[in-house]
Amino acid sequence: MKIRYLEIVNFRGIKNLATSFNGNFTCLIGSGDSGKSSIITAIDYALSPRWNISIEDSDFYNQEIDEPISITVTLAEWDASNAEVRKFFGESRFGQFIGGLGLNGPEPEPATGEPECISVLFQVDKSLEPKWFIKKGSELKALSAGERSIFGLGKIDTHLDNNFTWGRNTLLTRLSTQDDNVNAILANIARGLKATPLSLTGCEATATSIKTESEKFGVQVAQITPKLDLQKLSFAAGALALHNEEIPLRNLGTGSKKLISCAMQLKLHDGRNITLIDELELGLEPHRIRGLIKNLKSTQQQVITTTHSAVVLRELTVSENELYVCRIDEDGNLKVKSLSEVPDCQGPIRSNAEAFLGKKVIVCEGQTEVGCLRALDSYKVSLNEIPVWTLNTAYYNAAGAGNIKAAATALNELGYNVAILCDSDEPTQFSAADATALEALGVQVFMWEHDRSIEQQLLADLSWTSLNGLIEIAADVHDSKSKTDLIQAVQTQQAGLTDNPSDWSDTTNLREVIGKVAAGKLPVSAASVGKKGWFKRISSSEAVFDFALPHINATTPFKEKLDSLWDWIQDE
């Protein structure tokens, strides 16, 4: 069976959620506390064959226990050739509860062309007693733990050790056949121990003294000896576990235990099952993440997982509904949206995967802007301000002004809070009209003024006494140009300059010339860096702005623009 619709009411941080799952591999992404793990847990509670699920007041939304928890999971696409499935849908059981599945969720009867479905309701009121039902409209029928095993649900999280033992409802027990008869095996082990001679010297001395004292009280016994009492000898089912030679599998690393658990889950119901994985990447190196995803996607099972890993995002296919972004508002209303609903998302996912894991995204024109913002973060931290990484803010490298509008529009449509940091010197690629259109959608746009690039704005506002130091830093991080090369590039555009920038006079014209040279806006020549510019990589840009930011006056346009962007980042 496959989960195709999910409704959650009043569960943990979720007040309301209603969403479809259209793919067979579903990965939920979003910032922290966006409801991803609560979705996984809700599905687990509703479909798990466990009978002893413990609910607390804190599981209710805002601990409002007068509003019951309600989780409805609608399933479709079951294997009608399976004998157990046919029995489950027999007339005496749940055959009368088959309904239809429309675009807005389950319906009382299947319409023409609609798939058949069945809905499971998990409900808890303030008594904290969970109840399970099959639901059709207002009609309910109780659903037992044993009956829920038909869904083949397994949850793989950080608590993996039980998967390798024969215990109540563990994976091993569910995979075992009647011929395994685990209880009989454990009983035989106990009988064997009883018949095995044991060295009980200390216990024997105590037993002899008890016999002597008992006889003084008038109790005649032939012999008191220490032996194992078979009726009291109890092995927890978990005592029988899988081993790697002499080492229990529970002693393996987290990643290896996760991979083995996934392999075991695959064997359940011949692979036609539902697997939940919270934080798929946990404990796994990138190459093992890729291998796990490839194996999971090649099976017949449905996988629903969460991630905070860019590696995972790059392995998934948007058009196959494998990626969903979670957004929750202050009232607990959770929206889950497939990235396939927004055009042309696959490329950005591959090139800027990290940006999709935040809550706020700053679309940067290029690597220079990304480096600048990384330096700004460090600079603000040095002033004891809150760093960017604590505020769910990520950087998106648009790799050119012509890509800014499409990237910002897509991110905005997916529910991210979006800002833009870009130059104003390429109006044919990103114009003032483009900025106005995006601002009407709620996107914040931060552009340099007067048709300037970020390098030109920096050179217009930098403390003149810091110019020599800036050129030294730029030369140090440049791939192939020395300080002399950079100075000569300026000299070719401004006559009369000495070889020492400390001797240069501060004029508006000279600042403009240096800014254009730094931006790579001059024709290529033997003495010029041409189109490459002085610091066009993230690392070199970060180094330059690490130096420059403390040397820019707070009242300059450069500092004021960055401070406005910083205020946007800090504004919750």
Query: How much is the average pLDDT of 545-569?
Result: 96
Question: 214 and 224 in contact (C-beta within 8 Å)?
Answer: yes
Average pLDDT of the chain is 88
- What token pair was written down for 81? 């050739």
Measured distance CA(43)–CA(138) in Å, rounded: 21
Question: 337 and 20 in contact (C-beta within 8 Å)?
Answer: no
Q: Give the residue among 408, 313, 344 at the shortest CA–CA distance from 28.
A: 313
- In 10 A of CB 290, how many CB atoms? 15
pLDDT top residue among 508 and 169: 508
Residue 543 has pLDDT above 50, yes or no: yes
Q: What pLDDT score was predicted for residue 526? A: 42
pLDDT top residue among 499 and 33: 499
pLDDT digits (tens, 9 = 90+) for 40-67: 999 999 999 888 899 999 999 999 999 9
Q: What pLDDT score was predicted for residue 508? A: 95
pLDDT top residue among 75 and 265: 75
Q: What pLDDT score was predicted for residue 176? A: 66
Measured distance CA(478)–CA(472) in Å, rounded: 10
β-pair type (116-124, 131-136): antiparallel
Q: What pLDDT score was predicted for residue 212? A: 74
Tell me the residue ranges of DSSP E strands in 381-536.
Answer: 393-397, 417-422, 444-447
- In 10 A of CB 178, how many CB atoms? 5
Query: How much is the average pLDDT of 262-291?
Result: 86
Residue 338 has pLDDT above 90, yes or no: yes
Query: How much is the average pLDDT of 353-378?
Result: 95
Measured distance CA(95)–CA(136) in Å, rounded: 11
pLDDT confidence bin for 388, thresholds 50/70/90: confident
Q: What pLDDT score was predicted for residue 10? A: 98
pLDDT digits (tens, 9 = 90+) for 157-184: 767 676 677 666 676 676 765 555 666 6
Residue 485 has pLDDT above 80, yes or no: yes
Measured distance CA(487)–CA(420) in Å, rounded: 32
Helix, strand, coil fractions of the chain, as percent rounded to 5: 45, 20, 35
User: Would you give the DSSP letter of residue 269?
Assistant: G
Span of 109-123, 205-219, 279-293, 534-548 with lowest mean pLDDT: 205-219
Q: What pLDDT score was predicted for residue 234? A: 53
Residue 558 has pLDDT above 50, yes or no: yes
Measured distance CA(564)–CA(449) in Å, rounded: 14
Query: How much is the average pLDDT of 371-389?
Result: 92
Residue 427 has pLDDT above 80, yes or no: yes
Residue 299 has pLDDT above 80, yes or no: yes
β-pair type (153-156, 274-277): parallel
Question: 223 and 148 in contact (C-beta within 8 Å)?
Answer: no
Q: Which residue reads 């009980």 in tokens?
A: 200
pLDDT confidence bin for 528, thresholds 50/70/90: very low
User: Would you give the DSSP letter of residue 149?
Assistant: G
Query: How much is the average pLDDT of 391-406?
Result: 94
pLDDT digits (tens, 9 = 90+) for 431-445: 999 999 999 999 999
Question: 407 and 445 in contact (C-beta within 8 Å)?
Answer: no
pLDDT top residue among 151 and 269: 151
Collapsed DSSP state (helix, strand, coil) of residue 309 = coil
Q: How many CA atoms lie within 13 A of 292 on its CB side?
A: 28
Q: Which amino acid is at 58?
A: S
Percent of the chain residues topping a pLDDT of 90: 67
HEC letters along 122-144: EEECCCCCCEEEEEECCEEEECC
Query: How much is the average pLDDT of 333-338?
Result: 96
pLDDT confidence bin for 532, thresholds 50/70/90: confident
Residue 265 has pLDDT above 70, yes or no: yes
Task: Report residue 265: phi and psi, to 5°.
Answer: -60, -35
Question: 276 and 44 in contact (C-beta within 8 Å)?
Answer: yes
Q: What pLDDT score was predicted for residue 208? A: 75
Question: Considering Cα of 518, then 522, then 523, then 526, what sign does the dihedral take?
Answer: negative
pLDDT confidence bin for 272, thresholds 50/70/90: confident
Measured distance CA(394)–CA(566) in Å, rounded: 13
Percent of the chain residues topping a pLDDT of 70: 85
Report the predicted TM-score, pTM, of the whole model to 2 decimal places.
0.85
Q: What pLDDT score was predicted for residue 29? A: 96
- What token pair was written down for 481? 């140009």
Q: What pLDDT score was predicted for residue 545? A: 97
Residue 529 has pLDDT above 50, yes or no: no
pLDDT confidence bin for 281, thresholds 50/70/90: very high
Question: 366 and 423 in contact (C-beta within 8 Å)?
Answer: no
pLDDT digits (tens, 9 = 90+) for 85-124: 999 999 889 999 999 999 889 998 888 888 999 999 999 9
Q: Give the residue among 441, 443, 392 at the shortest CA–CA distance from 422.
A: 443
